[in-house]
Amino acid sequence: MEPVEQQIRSDSNATETSSEQSEASAPASPVRTERRQKPRAWETPPAPVPPPRLDDYKSIVGEADIDELKFLARDLKGKKVKMVNSTAVGGGVAEMLNQMVPLLRELDVETHWDVITGGNDFFEVTKAFHNALQGSDYKLTQHARDIFLMHNDQNRNRIDFSEDFIVIHDPQPAALIRAQKESNQHWIWRCHIDLSSPNPEVWAFLRPFVEKYDAAIFSSQSFARQLPIPQYLFYPCIDPLSEKNKELEDSFVQHVCDEFGVDRSRPIVTQVSRFDRAKDPVGVVQAFKQARKYVDCQLVLAGGGASDDPEGAAVLKEVKDAVGADPDIIILDLPPWCALEINALQRASTIIVQKSIREGFGLTVTEALWKGKPTIAGAVGGIPNQIIHKLTGALVHSVDGCAYQIRYLLTHPAFAQQLGHNGHEHVKENFLMSTNVRRWLLLLRILLAGGAK
Ligand code: UDP
């Protein structure tokens, strides 16, 4: 299966979408004339857009960076790479592969992408493994081991592994390493999850597979484990040209604010997050209410997933209870295809908050920093990789701390602006798709030169 080709998309693109929408936009409304949670125009998903080409990034990172990629790829021409993961759509890994595989191919690094198959039984087991490896309680049974190995074996027999580099993403297909044969092949395990405190039984089961790889890659120092194989740090990345992150016409930003009843003449504090307790939306409401005693502002809580996730619905209810009848707090339960609207809300914001108490890497923080927004975020997971306190944003550990920072940044706009500027530069340097491609090229070259054997 070749998901990339299957997903090359129709001609319609976001520029059309946004210009249509902005043409249709009414002049800025004053304060919340009508507030709709799911504006009619966005009830159905827009047509997907094709992934960008290498040269499209020149205007963002500069020609020299793109030339560097071409230079690094020279010695890899004709080498074959296979990426394997567990889903073609949905989730950050598939999204990243969808962008990265065509870029590697454009650089003449022949890259193929295979997705493992499995029944419900397999995906139930791997979901439980995924959660257990990130700390949830789980009792590993022999049945679960058998299901895991059986489906890995079926995929091992189905997929061809003749490439020079085989990259296995995440734990679901980790046992495919048993297909390793030729000594001049390089097998890499790219772990996207936080393995810092795994369920000991599940880790003991997976560890022998992981140790057979030639190298492992983690997304943050804090997610890694001691392993006898070389480990590399690859931060996750965002695509500056995606619907979520590309530049938008101000008229479109205004249109989205009008639709959602957000008043751009007053400061806007925003958190974009699934309605999940780990994101502490209730804590955000409390911090906002404290700060607003001293400084005028509105809060936008934009999230999704509450309609198809019972826990999300429960958290949304807790948030609504905490909000009460406060007219300055706008809760938006958005469908999953609202990338342009989220982009617009982030761009309209004065401050962005991500007050997580548990977090993966925290891509919403990356997105906020990229948009040059002063960002306040919980000091958990990968967030401290992105926010250097008082330099690229503000790290907080409590509701009081968050309230203090909202108040401080809203009353010190020059400092807030400097944080936003630094945050943007930090993302440009470390967390963009083009940097990710550079890391891959460098790693493949290191392995080719015998660095990891
Ligand atoms: N996101 C979204 N719609 C929502 C909430 C979040 O599209 O209603 C996006 C958000 O912009 C980001 C991603 O989902 O790109 C969330 O990634 P993050 O690493 O911050 O958190 P996760 O949800 O993976 O724990």
What's the pLDDT at 27? 31
What's the pLDDT at 451? 52
Phi-psi region of 452 (alpha: psi -120 to 50; beta: other; left: phi over 0): alpha
Torsion of CA 412, 415, 421, 426, to 10 degrees: -120
Helix or strand run (H / E) with residue 330: strand 329-334
The number of the ligand 1 atom at minimal distance from the alpha carbon of 332 is 8
Report whether residue 361 contacts ligand 1, using a CB cutoff of 6 Å: yes
Report whether residue 282 contacts ligand 1, using a CB cutoff of 6 Å: no
Whole-number Å distance, alpha carbon 303 to ligand 1 midpoint, is: 8
What pairs with residue 232 in β-bridges? 217
CA distance 286 to 175: 46
Report whether residue 236 contacts ligand 1, using a CB cutoff of 6 Å: no
Closest-CA residue to 205 (of 297, 126, 105, 113)? 126
Whole-number Å distance, alpha carbon 290 to ligand 1 midpoint, is: 26
Report whether residue 420 contacts ligand 1, using a CB cutoff of 6 Å: no
Q: Six-digit token pair at 325?
A: 């009848």
The residue ranges of the chain whose pLDDT is under 70 are 1-43, 182, 307-308, 451-453
Domains and CATH numbers, the chain: 17-30+244-430 (3.40.50.2000), 73-239+432-448 (3.40.50.2000)
CA distance 447 to 230: 10
Give DSSP secondary structure letters for 37-61: SS-GGGSSPPPP-PPPPGGGGHHHH
Closest-CA residue to 280 (of 439, 401, 140)? 401
Cβ(390)–Cβ(360) under 8 Å?
no
Whole-number Å distance, alpha carbon 277 to ligand 1 midpoint, is: 14
Report whether residue 304 contacts ligand 1, using a CB cutoff of 6 Å: yes
CA distance 227 to 224: 9
Supply the pTM of this predicted model. Answer: 0.86
DSSP 393: B
pLDDT digits (tens, 9 = 90+) for 284-318: 999 999 999 999 999 999 998 776 677 888 999 99
Report whether residue 303 contacts ligand 1, using a CB cutoff of 6 Å: yes
Whole-number Å distance, alpha carbon 272 to ligand 1 midpoint, is: 7
What's the pLDDT at 234? 96
What's the pLDDT at 337? 87
What's the pLDDT at 92? 81
What's the pLDDT at 312? 86
Q: CB pairs under 8 A, 24+ apart, for 424-430?
A: 424/369, 424/370, 424/371, 424/372, 426/369, 426/386, 426/388, 426/392, 427/238, 427/366, 427/369, 427/370, 427/386, 428/60, 428/61, 428/370, 430/235
Report whether residue 46 contacts ligand 1, using a CB cutoff of 6 Å: no
Distances (CA, A) of 112 to 1, 82, 146, 160, 383: 9, 5, 28, 11, 32
